[in-house]
Amino acid sequence: MNPRPGERLSRRTVVIAFGIALAAAVVLVVAALLLRNDSSTPAASAAAVVDLKGIPQSGSVLGSPSAKVTLIEYADPQCPGCRLYMETIFPTVVDEYVRPGKVATEFRGFPFIGEDSVTGYRYLLAAGMQDKLWNLAVAFYRNQGDENSGWLTEDLVRRLAAGIPGLNVRRLLSDAQRADIVAQASSAGAKAAAAGITGTPTLLVKIGDSAPYLIHVASVDQMRAALDDALSG
Amino acid sequence: MSDRALRIAAGAVALAGAALAAYLTWVHYDESLLVCVAGGGCETVQRSAYAEIAGVPVALLGLIAYSSVLGLVAWDTPMARLGASMIAFLGLAFSLYLLVVQLFVIDAVCTWCVVNDVVVAPLLAVLTALRLRT
């Protein structure tokens, strides 16, 4: 029975109560970490969000390490064509080929459009160090601004990265300044050009350890045909 | 400090906390209303994966907690005092977690959230705990 006003609670009651409160706090923090909003990405593009949850990532590669086929994409964070690919064809690639483990897809930067391209690629490489490159790439394309308009700011990156579960934003911003990341992003354009890449998105298919070959796809059906062909080969 | 003064202070702090949490709940659903002095910090925090627990805004949980404390302060039985202090203590612990998340994970600070985490929640915990001694 509750004590009446003016009565003192026993020390034991208070200690037990605070023990319960402490336990509840621990449960709440654990629940907050486990049940955080995994889908809280900023809504900018009207296109459906590509769900990458549960798909393994390693550096710049999305998909199973044992996938028979690798789809290589050369892309520029500022390229509208890459955004279109990400919004129209990429979701099918993920749902029908990457998630089932048949195909892995690799992001290779060809940041040629301007300064924001290199900046964006630096952040993508930094996200790749936490195996979240593709999450950030999807977020970039969903929020892509006009080419060389200065849209890819650190504030935007902070905001987008904060919506990616498991991505440590502080570490991302720090890693993006690392000398090796800066060098890799700065030299990526020349490296891709030396490999014969002339524009973005450029797509190549690699079967096992064989040499990659170029594919030209402009629709979901053409992509399905190209990947099915590679998988049956 | 008299018990009456502590009660008034605890009620006032709980009311301030409820108002703050109500505002943050409001802007969670309508970010155009957000007023923040830090560059993009509040927007970043409000949009982060940590702003909700199972779809429920953290700010809404704060509103419920502060409202509960306010009700218990008004009720004012010994058990109500203990309940208020327990909720305030729980809120303080969770506020510390949110502060750590802002500073070291999201790397963005929402000024109003920090006011809650650093001022309102600790003050309410102290005031309600002091009332257990009177």
pLDDT in tens, A20-29: 989 998 998 8
Interface contact flag, B79 A2, Cβ < 8 Å: yes
A18 to chain B: closest CA residue: B86
The answer to whether the beta carbons of residues A136 and A160 sit under 8 Å apart is yes
Kindly state the percentage of chain A with pLDDT values over 70. 90
Q: How far apart are CA A4 and CA B79, in angstroms?
A: 9
Using an 8 Å CB-CB cutoff, list chain A residues near B40: 155, 158-159
Q: How far apart are CA A26 and CA A24, in angstroms?
A: 5
Flag the least confident range among A46-50, A67-71, A110-114.
Answer: A46-50
- The amino acid present at A230, given as its one-letter code, is A
Tens-place pLDDT, residues B12-27: 999 999 999 998 888 7
Using an 8 Å CB-CB cutoff, list chain B residues near A35: 53-54
Interface contact flag, A18 B55, Cβ < 8 Å: no
C-alpha distances (whole Å) from B94 to each of A41, B11, B25, B117 are 24, 20, 17, 9
Tens-place pLDDT, residues A175-211: 999 999 999 999 999 999 899 888 888 999 999 999 9
Using an 8 Å CB-CB cutoff, list chain A residues near B107: 158, 162, 169-170, 173
Average pLDDT of the segment spanning B73-83: 89
Residue B24 confidence (pLDDT): 86
B31 part of contact set with chain A, CB < 8 Å: no
Alpha helices in chain B (DSSP H): 3-29, 41-47, 58-75, 78-100, 111-114, 121-131
Cα atoms in the Cβ-side hemisphere of radius 13 Å centred on A41: 24
- The amino acid present at A203, given as its one-letter code, is L
Considering only CB atoms, A31 lies closest to which of B45, B48, B53, namely B53
CB environment B102-118: b (16+ within 10 A), e (fewer): beebbbbbbebbbebbe
Using an 8 Å CB-CB cutoff, list chain A residues near B86: 17-18, 20-21, 24
Question: Which residues 25-54 of A have a C-beta within 8 angstroms of B?
Answer: 25-26, 28-29, 31-32, 35-38, 40, 42
Q: Which of A193, A210, A212, A208 is nearest to A109 (CA)?
A: A193
CA distance B19 to chain A (A): 22
Average pLDDT of the segment spanning B41-59: 76
Axis-axis angle for helices A154-162, A115-128 (nearest 10): 30
Q: How far apart are CA B113 and CA A191, in angstroms?
A: 46
Reported ipTM: the value is 0.80
3-class secondary-structure state, position B54: coil
Q: How far apart are CA B132 and CA B84, in angstroms?
A: 10
Q: How far apart are CA A15 and CA A21, in angstroms?
A: 10
Average pLDDT of the segment spanning A170-178: 97
Q: Can you read off the two tokens belonging to residue A23?
A: 């336990």
Flag the least confident range among A37-41, A81-85, A204-208.
Answer: A37-41
Using an 8 Å CB-CB cutoff, list chain A residues near B87: 21
A145 part of contact set with chain B, CB < 8 Å: no
B94 part of contact set with chain A, CB < 8 Å: yes
Residue A233 confidence (pLDDT): 77
Query: Please, which pLDDT band fits residue A38 given cuts at 50, 70 and 90?
Result: low
Average pLDDT of the segment spanning B83-94: 92
B90 part of contact set with chain A, CB < 8 Å: yes
CA distance A133 to chain B (A): 17
B55 part of contact set with chain A, CB < 8 Å: yes
Query: Please, which pLDDT band fits residue B3 given cuts at 50, 70 and 90?
Result: confident
